Structure 1
Amino acid sequence: MKNIMHWALLLAFVFLAANCGAAREQIRTQSLTEREGVFQEVTTVDEPPPGFADVVVRASLKTHLSGEGALLECKNSPHGGPFYHFTLNIDGQAVTWKVPGLRENLPVVKDRHSQDEGDGMKYGLEKRIRLRAGTHRIFFDVPEENYAKTVTVNLQDGKSSTLEFQPTYPRYKWGHPAFRLGFLGFNALFNNTSSN
């Protein structure tokens, strides 16, 4: 029986390691630009010209402060560090932003919990992207978390849309803020509608 448990644990470890390697390879590949001219970042809020559309990409992630992590966390963990990288790849054109963290301490409100309550480091991204109207495949990743998500959106000619990547964290346990327990992934909302 002991032997079976050892083999089961070994197989589980190999499976997890293989999946992490596959995700890491996908993130590395999608971080490279294969095409140019698919999109451009714009800083004005003017309406897009005919044939084009804008999409405002928003993402945020909160971590514990540096040095406050779990026992198994390595010393060079990015959690609580000065920045995180967020990568976006639209139809083969990629860009990576180095997003600075801001210390955030949201108070705990009695009987009302927020996943961001407590003291931590918050990394927030908001970029306006202009591209041709139509259907586009958007790959979003956070390399430090070894996490990626792909969504397909249909952008209307001359319109502005929003694509928001909202973080998900484990449920509350014993009063701890959810972000302190780790990061699970992102829910994608396109114009306030789930794109999962």
Structure 2
Amino acid sequence: MSKYIPAIVVGFLVAVVVSGGLAFFFSSAGADAGYLPMMVGAFLGIFTAYIMANLAGTKLGKAATPEQKQAVLEARPEPGQALLIVYREGFVGKAAGMDLSVDDRFVAQLKSPRFTAISVSPGGHQLSMAFGGLAGKQNKPTLEGFIAAPGDVIAFRATMQMGMMKNRIVVERIESDEALLQRLKPMIMIAPEV
């Protein structure tokens, strides 16, 4: 709850400033605005608090070095390892950070359009994706299993799909070819934390 307090405070301040500003504007113009300034201020305050609460779990990820990004774009897994690439695209929820974990270990948080990549050992793995903050309560987390072999380059694309009650994270496995690498080239790579 405490992580939502700044959102509530800013929303309240927006409501007060907008209501007061509109009331002053209408009174200086000699017009009777009635409840309009208060209603507009309340709406904008609630909207601001809602957006900020959705972003409460979002943090600024550290960009990868040019060398790290170049190694991924050359699709060079470490010897005896596989390379896992996860990228996020789409407009829906693009500012909200999506947490990525592999085998229950946090890897990175991605906004859209961004990507990350890590080396994984051969064998079966679980990739999980979920949101923090209020956005986490509005989106279903997802879990995707995959099997890695030495030298594999495994890529997943994550997008958001709006739903009636809850949004969902759509994950699809993408062919790791030159088209994928060209798609990743203009994106910011977030350095993995593992």
Band of TM-score, shorter chain: 0.3 to 0.5
In proportion to residue count, which structure has more helix? 2
Please, what TM-score do these two structures have when normalized by structure 1?
0.44
- Between Structure 1 and Structure 2, whose CA radius of gyration is higher? 2
Structure with the bigger percentage of strand: 1
> Larger relative CO (CA 8 A, sep 6+): 1 or 2?
1
